[in-house]
Amino acid sequence: MFNKILIANRGEIALRVIRTCKELGIKTVAVYSEADTDSLHVTFADEAVCIGPVSAKESYLKIPSIISAAEITGADAIHPGYGFLAENANFSEICTESGLKFIGPSPEMIKGMGDKAFAKETMKRVGVPVVPGSNGVVKNVADAKIIAAEIGYPVIIKASAGGGGKGMRIVWEEDKLENAFQTARGEAEAAFANSDVYIEKYIENPRHVEIQIVGDQFGNVYHYGERDCSVQRRHQKLIEESPSPVVDVDLRNRMGEAAIKGASAVNYEGAGTIEFLVDKNKNFYFMEMNTRIQVEHPVTEMVNDVDLIRQQILAAAGENLDPHPVVPKGHCMEFRINAEDHENNFRPCPGKITSLHFPGGLGVRVDSHIYQDYVIPPYYDSLLAKLIIWAKDRKQVLDRAKRALEEFTILGVPTTIPFHLKVLQDERFITGNFDTSFIDNLLIK
């Protein structure tokens, strides 16, 4: 087992990793920028190293500084958290070359899954259901027209280097295809320095349902059921839950087996998420694979009684993971509490937290790095806390969530708490009858 882990991250996820390390008896090293000298991850870690100025590019993204911090402190492994360098193949490679265990997959895996067209072809080849579309990258408009005519409109053009909704174009008729194709390629080139695009049938109003998996170094891959992440705005998730209101035991088993098949075929090591689109008829299609621990991992932890960070660390340390039955117990929802003004386009609002009270009680978990008088720096993301609510069933989660959100007090900056309270009153949300267009529709009316 590792002796000392460096956490190459900040905020709530750095705290989350430190907590599990403490339980495992592993020493921790925090790294921080000059904007984060007063951050809790610095306080809670056994050691802390300042790695640079406020800009993420010069601190949390600066590979040589992080590797040096690990070498100076004698860490033997690095946990990247999510965001920053978590899906940077180069970072994974340099860690390994420096004799540091990267707690995550190999550089080849990160690169392969980061190439969305390649990832899709890989999944298709091993029998994971994918959305009908092009066989990989489409090189020119003529080919695009042939494929679109074959699968039928509407179609969606996606950047191969994109993901998470960046660089997509929906096309409803052939007349619009040429223009959209060239625009999509141009945007992809500008955003990712890679103009490759691929095409697939556009699934209208899908749900976003993802399967959590963990693979060890012996070829075992296990799944931990699904999370429904359909409540999002501009590809930013706001509420996630497990189980999904549309997934029954049979669908869970089939999606879980598909996820395992895909991850096993590539010998996946570490925690990962296979994202699926689920259409109105409950057909599911592979969308993307994320090669990191995700923000919303706690909903999976609560209904499966598993510590996913622990599983990541055990797998990385070369332990044989135990199989476990996937029988979700109760229901869980996560509400992302961001320092954002939801009445002004969710504009980020950093500033000082002048008063703070966390909710508590049965089934209430708060993963957060904030404290009374904490000053939220303007340089990073606006996530302040994750309110994670567990109860016996979905109805009781809704009641408990309302109670906990009302109890949650953050003064000094606007937060998404009032927005969540509004969502909790929406009939479609209450009945579980929503898809990825839910929030946009909610905000329009």
Binding residues for ligand MV4, rule: CB under 6 A, are 131, 156, 163-165, 200-203, 206, 208, 232, 235, 277, 287-288, 436
Question: In the complex with ligand MV4, which residue's Cβ is closer, 357 or 428?
Answer: 428
- Nearest distance, CB of residue 165 and ligand MV4, angstroms: 4
- Nearest distance, CB of residue 124 and ligand MV4, angstroms: 14
Task: Answer whether 42's CB lies under 8 Å from 9's CB.
Answer: no
The reply to whether omega before 154 is within 30° of 0 (cis) is yes
Question: In the complex with ligand MV4, which residue's Cβ is closer, 16 or 208?
Answer: 208
- Nearest distance, CB of residue 164 and ligand MV4, angstroms: 6
- Nearest distance, CB of residue 26 and ligand MV4, angstroms: 34
Task: Answer whether 175's CB lies under 8 Å from 405's CB.
Answer: no
Task: Answer whether 19's CB lies under 8 Å from 13's CB.
Answer: no
Task: Answer whether 242's CB lies under 8 Å from 331's CB.
Answer: yes
The reply to whether omega before 243 is within 30° of 0 (cis) is yes
Question: In the complex with ligand MV4, which residue's Cβ is closer, 100 or 247?
Answer: 247
Residue 324 burial (10 A CB sphere; 0-12, 13-18, 19+):
middle
Q: Is 125 designated active site?
A: no
Question: In the complex with ligand MV4, which residue's Cβ is closer, 18 or 131?
Answer: 131
Task: Answer whether 374's CB lies under 8 Å from 352's CB.
Answer: yes
Question: In the complex with ligand MV4, which residue's Cβ is closer, 42 or 168?
Answer: 168
Q: Which of 10, 16, 252, 292 is catalytic?
A: 292
What is the C-alpha to C-alpha distance for residues 308 and 306, in angstroms, rounded to an integer? 6
- Nearest distance, CB of residue 242 and ligand MV4, angstroms: 16
Task: Answer whether 26's CB lies under 8 Å from 1's CB.
Answer: yes
- Nearest distance, CB of residue 325 and ligand MV4, angstroms: 29
What is the C-alpha to C-alpha distance for residues 161 and 212, in angstroms, rounded to an integer? 22
Residue 355 burial (10 A CB sphere; 0-12, 13-18, 19+):
exposed
Question: In the complex with ligand MV4, which residue's Cβ is closer, 390 or 438?
Answer: 438
Q: In 3-state terms, what secondary structure has residue 420?
A: helix
Nearest CA-CA partner of 158 in 143, 171, 145, 175: 171
Which two three-digit tokens encode residue 144?
């695009």
Give rounded-to-5 percent helix, strand, coil for the chain. Answer: 35, 30, 35
Question: In the complex with ligand MV4, which residue's Cβ is closer, 145 or 233?
Answer: 233
What is the C-alpha to C-alpha distance for residues 168 and 184, in angstroms, rounded to an integer? 7
277, β-bridge pairs:
208, 285
Task: Answer whether 288's CB lies under 8 Å from 225's CB.
Answer: no
Hunting for tokens 């209450």 — which residue is that?
Answer: 430
- Nearest distance, CB of residue 182 and ligand MV4, angstroms: 20
Catalytic sites, residue numbers: 292
